[in-house]
Structure 1
Amino acid sequence: MPSIACTEPVPAPGDAVGPRDRARGALLGLAVGDALGAPAENMKPSEIRARWGRITGFVSDNPCGTDDTEYAIFSGLLLARHGSALTPAHAEGAWHQWIADRAEGPFRGAGFSERGTLENLRRGLAAPISAQHRHAWSDGLAMRAAPFGVFAAGRPAEAARLVAIDGSVSHDGEGIHGGRAVAAGVAAAMAGAPTTAVVAAALAVVPDDSWTARSLRRAVTAAPLGERAVRSAVVIGGYPWTDLAPEAVALAFGAYAAADGAFVQAVLTAVNMGRDADTTAAVAGALAGATQGESAIPAHWAAAIGPARGSCLPSMRGHHVLDVAELLVPGEDRKWVTAGPSAAPAPPAEGAPR
């Protein structure tokens, strides 16, 4: 890959992919990557090979998204409600309304950063103090950052600004940097920027000496040598947890760069590297989906993605990522969500076209 300069994204010449196709590609790509990677989460490549050989498609009989998809829907609906006027108070209020204050039993199916955030919110702590927990560096913001890039297409700095506001409730430090990098990268891809410019946009919104920036540079430098080299360049050997934002974000961008933005290759590269495979594949899928559009996602993969099941966030049950994409399509008259998740468009009947 050529050297990366921190420049504004430049659309590819003769770009024929429209903003709606890119928006749908980004969020559907996130959900597809999440579902493909979920069975391989926390696994080593050797364990993946021993069980499945090389993963080339769904290995579950009933594939579905995890907390990555449901939190992306959550953030997409939050953004659709407030747009560029989003504030930390708005984000904190949504966490209370849609998650923390719901009497639905113990919180299920998400990572340490979300659990720590909820504990703090339920103790009465407000943002940014609510993000002061042991896992503020996790990839929990990066996994839900793609909607901000869709909304702020072609404006990476604005995408990064908005996702940091969302993240102020739950993340700090490298956790915020990871979310900013993903949001900015998706925003650049939404404008038709080539792969190198997408990576440059991500690097431009994080501190040059941050762990996130260093890992991201190592990953994309190793990308021409393939997934094993990318993994070796950034994985923290011996560390038991796989949700480190600098590691996961770098693996995702490394997979995207190794594939030069091609959707299938980017997502499968991320999946087969293991570690936090649902998140890395979700981010790689969002980047590649924004780059190539919805049409680049294999139809049989896309067909497997239905409305969210609410297995992590019951309040997100019934919402489809494509409905959220339609709310955020740039350059169109957006129908802002004014009441909460229930105000978003109802999912179509089963089998109906989206």
Structure 2
Amino acid sequence: MGNARGVLYGLAFGDAYGYPTEFLKVPEILRKFPPAGPEDLGNVLVSDDTQMALAVSRALVRAEKLDVETLEPLLRQEFIEWANSEENTRAPGMTCMRACERLEKGLPWVKATEMGSKGCGANMRVAPVGVLNLPVEMRSGLAQFQAALTHGHPTGLAASDATAQAIHFLMQGMAPERVLQALLDYAEAQLGLYHHDWLGSLWEESQHPAAAYFIARGWRETMDALLRVKEAMKSPDFDTDPCLLTGAGWIAEEALATGLYCFLLHPEDPRAAFKRAAVTSGDSDSIACLTGSFLGAYLGDDGFPQEWFDRIEYRDELEKMAAKLPLLQA
């Protein structure tokens, strides 16, 4: 069964696998890593995906209470520090950077966020929320809120929520073959459910006539992406670029879908799953980091080669957060 250490390290391992292949077409990847793509964790540097997942982790463990009033200034501070860090040299997402600039100016977060963006930056950092043992409504609201500070689009919120829920399902021992339908059922149950206590007036910044319509749009688009995974899994294709089947991953629902698809192709084999996620024409590091989160939630830290743990960047902080996150209570 999975654990927090597996989820956080899995995210970082996947990020490191996919980071050297991001922005490359598949033929370019195969020339760089002949004959069929990276076979092992050669690169140990991670991207902004792991950096921001650690930022969320730090905010969570610093919080005396898991609510908006406590977490908003902590997340704001962590995101601003990340944006200004000398280590922020890993092709950071422009949505995150623009939103962080406005957060640093002191704008209310509902004015700082990028309302039109559902980029994968919303959910590539949500894994720490997924490992928390929380009531379902709190996990849902918290997952959406951490996304909303930078990505205000309803699909960014819904896909982040679904990502956290998938991690929770797997950590609770759900079989991989059941996760997809469980997520579709979960998404259907969330249609029209707007977390006013977490999201406040965010929906009023959109063009939707009511909060329920706003969030329902996000869940419908997320469900559509999950249905593409369901269709692809009817005849699993181990050779075709997954981005051609479930999306390139630059936007949140496609990152969830393609990361989940790569996990479902190889749930027992991290090397094969990471290779499949890395040899893609889309946002390879974000796809692979989500794949790694799912692997860690299912297999636990014992599921990865032990030598990887000693080599990965940010090892000390990953270790610290993996120990502290499971201790948090609602």
Structure that is richer in helix per residue: 2
1:108, distance to aligned residue in structure 2 (A): 4.6
Q: Does 1:51 align with 2:32?
A: yes
Q: What root-mean-square deviation, in Å, do the aligned CA atoms of Structure 1 and Structure 2 show?
A: 2.8
Are residues 235 and 80 of structure 1, via their aligned partners in 2, closer, same or farther at CA, if it must alter by over 3 Å? same
Q: Deviations over 1:99-155 (max 9, x none)?
A: 437995786542112112112213332122221355x211112111111111137x6
Q: Look up the SS of the partner of 2:149 in the other structure.
A: coil
- Residue equivalent to 1:211: 221
Q: Does 1:304 align with 2:303?
A: no
Mapped to 2, the partners of 1:334 and 1:300 lie a distance apart of 29
- Residue equivalent to 2:175: 194
Mapped to 2, the partners of 1:287 and 1:281 lie a distance apart of 10
Are residues 51 and 120 of structure 1, via their aligned partners in 2, closer, same or farther at CA, if it must alter by over 3 Å? same
- Residue equivalent to 1:260: 267
CA contact (8 A) 2:40 2:271 kept: no
Q: Which amino acid aligns with 2:38?
A: I
Are residues 159 and 262 of structure 1, via their aligned partners in 2, closer, same or farther at CA, if it must alter by over 3 Å? farther
Number of residue pairs matched by the alignment: 294
Question: Which structure 2 residues correspond to residues 113-262 of structure 1 after superposition, within 5 A?
Answer: 113-134=95-116, 136-152=117-133, 157-172=137-152, 173-203=154-184, 204-205=186-187, 207=191, 210-223=220-233, 224-226=236-238, 228=240, 230-235=242-247, 243-260=250-267, 262=269
- Residue equivalent to 1:295: 302
Are residues 323 and 157 of structure 1, via their aligned partners in 2, closer, same or farther at CA, if it must alter by over 3 Å? same
1:161, distance to aligned residue in structure 2 (A): 2.2
Mapped to 2, the partners of 1:264 and 1:181 lie a distance apart of 24
Q: Which amino acid aligns with 1:197?
A: R
1:46, distance to aligned residue in structure 2 (A): 1.9
Mapped to 2, the partners of 1:265 and 1:157 lie a distance apart of 34
Mapped to 2, the partners of 1:115 and 1:175 lie a distance apart of 16
Deviates more, 1:168-177 or 1:100-109: 100-109
Q: Deviations over 1:33-59 (max 9, x none)?
A: 111110011222222112212211234
Question: Which structure 2 residues correspond to residues 49-128 of structure 1 after superposition, within 5 A?
Answer: 49-53=30-34, 54-60=37-43, 63-82=44-63, 85-100=65-80, 104=84, 108-109=89-90, 110-128=92-110
CA contact (8 A) 1:263 1:292 kept: no
Q: Which amino acid aligns with 2:290?
A: V
Q: Does 1:31 align with 2:31?
A: no
1:250, distance to aligned residue in structure 2 (A): 1.1
CA contact (8 A) 1:186 1:198 kept: no
TM-score (norm 2): 0.79
CA contact (8 A) 1:156 1:183 kept: no
1:32, distance to aligned residue in structure 2 (A): 0.6
Q: Look up the SS of the partner of 2:109 in the other structure.
A: coil
Gaps of 5+ in 2: 192-215
Percent of residue pairs identical = 24
- Residue equivalent to 2:203: none
CA contact (8 A) 2:145 2:157 kept: no
Q: Which amino acid aligns with 1:29?
A: G
Mapped to 1, the partners of 2:289 and 2:257 lie a distance apart of 13
Are residues 210 and 149 of structure 1, via their aligned partners in 2, closer, same or farther at CA, if it must alter by over 3 Å? same
Are residues 197 and 156 of structure 1, via their aligned partners in 2, closer, same or farther at CA, if it must alter by over 3 Å? farther
Mapped to 1, the partners of 2:57 and 2:82 lie a distance apart of 20
Mapped to 1, the partners of 2:176 and 2:25 lie a distance apart of 27
Mapped to 2, the partners of 1:127 and 1:72 lie a distance apart of 19
1:89, distance to aligned residue in structure 2 (A): 3.8
Mapped to 2, the partners of 1:230 and 1:36 lie a distance apart of 16
- Residue equivalent to 2:320: 323
Moved beyond 6 Å, runs of 4+:
none
1:251, distance to aligned residue in structure 2 (A): 0.8
- Residue equivalent to 2:205: none
Q: Which amino acid aligns with 1:116?
A: R
